[in-house]
Amino acid sequence: MFKRGATKKAQIMSLEDAVKTYIKDGMMVAFGGFTGFNRNPSSVAWQMVRQGNKNIHCIDRHGGICTWLLNSVGALSVYETDWMGWGEMAGKLDVNMERTYKAGKMVLEDYSHGAMAMRFLAGAIGAPFIPYYAPQGSDLYNPKYDALGKAGKRDGKNVKIPRKKFMEMADPFFNTGNVILLPAARCDVAVIHATQCGQKGTARWRGVGTIDKEICFAADKVIVVAEEIVAESELRKMPESNQIPYFVVDAIVENPWGAYPSAVPFYYDYDAPFMRGMDAASRNPEDMKKWLDEWVFSPKSWEEMMTKVGAKRLLDLKADSTTGYSTRILRGKKPAPRMTVPLSVARSGY
């Protein structure tokens, strides 16, 4: 609908230039990854905070490092999501976001996880809406609860905000009761963190895909941050391992450890102790400010921030080549046991 007949030519850029060029105040942005744990494009949100982006409408399957960072400086004005937590077992609810919301400084639109996935799928395949057996009888589909509507944002002025939150209708084809029609999710910019990206933009990752491919196809502009930029010819030897074709990508940023403190499977693990520290800092504004000064505003670059994290920590986080995660990082109170086979496999086979 927005890009008929047009392909793109991706450019390799610095983190600063990519954010400056493609992310403007007031834009609708979607971030890739899963909660605060997996392939969050943290470095982009970190750079947005440093560059002072404001009034961002984030549309996402749920919170993570990026929303935590943006909210920490009050840069989110609308959050369309299904989960305003960020760190699951390292700090479930974003307590600072709860503060922002309760102070009336943010519009929060609730959907469910499956619903947001379906909305982005619709956005990605160019469909205006998608039917889903989204839970009838849930207050998510209570006509009284439409936060964007209440805020007067469904007037069509922003073409990416649907005129309705949802619509219920009877299945006209197979007579299977009522379904909910969900509007496509579309955004100005999608930002994902991949493992490898070719110089033209072909990108891949390992581990879960979440909805990274969907958000890239649902967005007008796409920024791919990668652990490394490699030759396209190398990626084309195993095309079934690539998820993003180059023609949807606008900017390529090479930024090793750019997803920290989330994990990049087969590269490095998530840093649970660091995330617990973030959670603790977010519990009061004073500590939050100190944390931001220390970790966001003081370092001159992402490289300098990672240097501050320290070589010992990074060695501990380095992923095992066979499992894709680290067995050296202390996540709980005891070190990880040395396993050679999963117990369920030992007890029952596959």
Site for another protein in 275-304 (CB under 8 A): none
Choice between 119 and 160, CB closer to another protein: 119
Binding to another protein by CB under 8 A, coded x per residue (else -) over 301-320, reads ------------------x-
Cα separation of 11 and 144, whole Å? Answer: 45
Residue 340 contacts another protein per CB under 8 A? yes
Question: Which residue in this structure is represented by tokens 């943006």?
Answer: 70
Backbone angles phi, psi at 20, to 5 degrees: -60, -40
Residue 76 contacts another protein per CB under 8 A? no
Backbone angles phi, psi at 109, to 5 degrees: -105, 120
Residue 321 contacts another protein per CB under 8 A? no
Angle between helical axes of 272-281 and 285-292 (0-180°, round to 10): 130
- Collect all residues with Cβ–Cβ distance below 8 Å to 232 and sequence separation of at least 6: 198, 199, 200, 202, 246
Binding to another protein by CB under 8 A, coded x per residue (else -) over 221-240, reads --------------------
Applying CB under 8 A, the span of 2-10, 107-115, 155-163, 229-237 interacting with another protein comes to 107-115
Residue 341 contacts another protein per CB under 8 A? yes
Sign of CA dihedral 349, 266, 306, 254: negative
By CB under 8 A, the residues from 152 to 181 that bind another protein are 168, 171, 175-179
Measured in whole angstroms, how far is the alpha carbon of residue 272 from the centre of its chain?
Answer: 18
Binding to another protein by CB under 8 A, coded x per residue (else -) over 25-44, reads --------xxxxxx------
Cα separation of 266 and 228, whole Å? Answer: 13
Choice between 14 and 77, CB closer to another protein: 77
Is 211:113 a contact under the CB 8 Å cutoff?
A: no
Residue 263 is encoded by which pair of tokens?
């994990």
Smallest distance, another protein to C-beta of residue 8, A: 23
Choice between 113 and 236, CB closer to another protein: 113
Among 51, 55, 142, 284, contact with another protein (rule: CB under 8 A): 142
Choice between 150 and 318, CB closer to another protein: 150
Smallest distance, another protein to C-beta of residue 136, A: 5
Choice between 167 and 230, CB closer to another protein: 167
Bridge partners (DSSP) of residue 229 are 197
Applying CB under 8 A, the span of 22-30, 113-121, 286-294, 296-304 interacting with another protein comes to 113-121
Residue 47 is encoded by which pair of tokens?
């750079």
Applying CB under 8 A, the span of 88-96, 233-241, 277-285, 288-296 interacting with another protein comes to 88-96
Among 101, 247, 274, 291, contact with another protein (rule: CB under 8 A): 101
Nearest to 259 by CA among 206, 204, 195: 195
Residue 134 contacts another protein per CB under 8 A? yes
Residue 335 is encoded by which pair of tokens?
């070190």
Residue 274 contacts another protein per CB under 8 A? no
Question: Which residue in this structure is represented by tokens 């699951």?
Answer: 88
Is 191:41 a contact under the CB 8 Å cutoff?
A: yes
- Collect all residues with Cβ–Cβ distance below 8 Å to 204 and sequence separation of at least 6: 194, 195, 196, 197, 235, 241, 242, 243, 244
Choice between 70 and 118, CB closer to another protein: 118
Choice between 47 and 100, CB closer to another protein: 100
Cα separation of 197 and 226, whole Å? Answer: 6
